[in-house]
Amino acid sequence: MARVAVVGIGHGRFGQRSDATVQELAFEAWREALQDAGLAPDAIDASVVGSVPEYHKQRSLAGVVQEYLGLNPKPTWLTEAACASGSAAIRTAWMAIQAGLHDVVAVIGCQKMTELSTGEILALMGRVGEVQWESGFGTTFPGYYAMFARRHMHEFGTTREQLAQVAVKNHYYGARNPRALFRKEITVEKALASDPVASPFHVYDCCANADGAACVILASERRAREMGRAGVWLDGIGCASASMSVLRRPDLTGLPSAVDAARQAYAMAGASARDIKVAEVHDCFTIAEIMAYEDLGFCEKGRGGAFIEARQSYIGGTTPVNVDGGLKAKGHPIGATGVSMACEIVRQLRGQSGERQVPGADLGLTHNVGGIGQYCFVHVYRRD
């Protein structure tokens, strides 16, 4: 089977971006990706927009982005899988190329979260949980993940200090990432002393909403070689679903969709967890990163707390994770997040990450979760 190459990446600044509309955010990332790829706009055959539409006043988002980017009359549409919408767009673009339908596809992940009030956002987010039996009775996102954390603590002895250590690591790297929302280091003591949110979570256990956009340009192997841009490949894609109702989950210490998606992606890429040199995982809450270590096979089940405590997910450890700051410090513009992860991994594989560079990074992974794991997308990227 021919391969799919990543020929361009672009990434805007994440944060409260009252200076830009959502299509302007998309344009920032898109322009940088085009320049990075050395392409003119007419070289793009189609675009796929990853976003969660309901946060924007503007409906029909792919249409307005396509017009603003000057990409009419090329095909476009939007993909949505809650916080994994950006990875659904990358999967769609991979399929379009492998199907022989398009040679060069731009994937634009973009989200403006600050058009709505905090109350409106909380109401929308709650309803990413199952409406009829769960969110209607008061579940919220911190509440769902707090249940995962409590169960993980109960079963495996995971501690609040270990949760806080995830936040400390991600702030450490976020402080070194100019595109991150929070660019300051924190300490375990500061994290533990921050305001409570949903037991056992305090403020520093939770990622922050942000506005932002990211773009990757994928191309067929043939076209990438013609362009002289071959070298970084999307070699494995995995996607799985799980029940949206937490009440139907037999186990709350991991996400079954992540395990399934990783298995698919590793098999397609001919790789295993121990081959992964750098990973971006979906740390919407600190427990989510600890569960990801386990679900992805970076450590044994139940050993995620010990893994961060031993600094195995720092650069220099077994598997460096979220060395761009993760959702925690970079911010989480939900539709952009999966595409942002891809940008970071490609930059690492190219050796362009400066002081955050993982030495010898030739195989990288992204793990992007929708909701409480009703979707998970895992992608494996390789440098020749």
Bridge pairing between strands 375-383 and 363-370 = antiparallel
Task: Among 194, 243, 318, 357, indicate the residue that binds its own copies (CB under 8 A).
Answer: 243
Coil vs helix vs strand at 12: coil
Task: Among 27, 94, 172, 298, indicate the residue that binds its own copies (CB under 8 A).
Answer: 94
Closest CB 133 distance from its own copies, rounded Å? 11
Closest CB 313 distance from its own copies, rounded Å? 26
- Tokens 């040199």 locate to 277
Q: Select from 229, 223, 226, 254 the least CA-distant residue to 240.
A: 254
Nearest residue (CB) to its own copies, 192 versus 268: 268
Of residues 10 through 69, those in contact with its own copies by CB under 8 A are: 21, 46, 52-54, 57-64, 66-67
Nearest residue (CB) to its own copies, 101 versus 193: 101
Q: Give the x/- contact pattern for its own copies in 69-88, rule: CB under 8 A.
A: --xxxxxxxxxxxx-xx--x
Please give the structure tokens belonging to residue 188.
């375990």
Buried b (16+ CB within 10 A) or exposed e, 21-57: bbbbbbbbbbebbbebbebeeebbbbbbbbbbbebbe
> CA-to-CA distance for 48 and 262, rounded, in angstroms?
23
With contact defined as beta carbons under 8 Å apart, do 10 and 224 qualify?
no
Q: What residues contact 355, with CB distance under 8 A and at least 6 apart?
A: 176
99 binds its own copies (CB under 8 A): yes
> CA-to-CA distance for 219 and 382, rounded, in angstroms?
15
Residues recognised as catalytic? 83, 332
Closest CB 85 distance from its own copies, rounded Å? 8
301 binds its own copies (CB under 8 A): no
291 binds its own copies (CB under 8 A): no
Closest CB 67 distance from its own copies, rounded Å? 5
371 binds its own copies (CB under 8 A): yes
Nearest residue (CB) to its own copies, 64 versus 271: 64
2 binds its own copies (CB under 8 A): no
Task: Among 245, 297, 302, 317, indicate the residue that binds its own copies (CB under 8 A).
Answer: 245
> CA-to-CA distance for 130 and 374, rounded, in angstroms?
10
Q: Select from 157, 160, 158, 180 the least CA-distant residue to 170.
A: 180
Closest CB 59 distance from its own copies, rounded Å? 4
Task: Among 291, 374, 379, 380, indicate the residue that binds its own copies (CB under 8 A).
Answer: 374
Q: Select from 292, 257, 285 the least CA-distant residue to 366.
A: 292
Size of the site for its own copies (CB under 8 A): 64
Closest CB 20 distance from its own copies, rounded Å? 12
Bridge pairing between strands 212-220 and 278-280 = unpaired
Task: Among 204, 266, 307, 375, indicate the residue that binds its own copies (CB under 8 A).
Answer: 375
244 binds its own copies (CB under 8 A): yes
Give every strand in the sheet of 46-50, ordered side by side: 46-50, 104-111, 212-220, 4-11, 232-241, 375-383, 363-370, 278-280
| Residues forming the site for its own copies (CB under 8 A) | 1, 21, 46, 52-54, 57-64, 66-67, 71-82, 84-85, 88, 91-92, 94-101, 124-125, 127-128, 130-132, 237, 239-245, 248, 256-257, 260, 370-371, 374-375
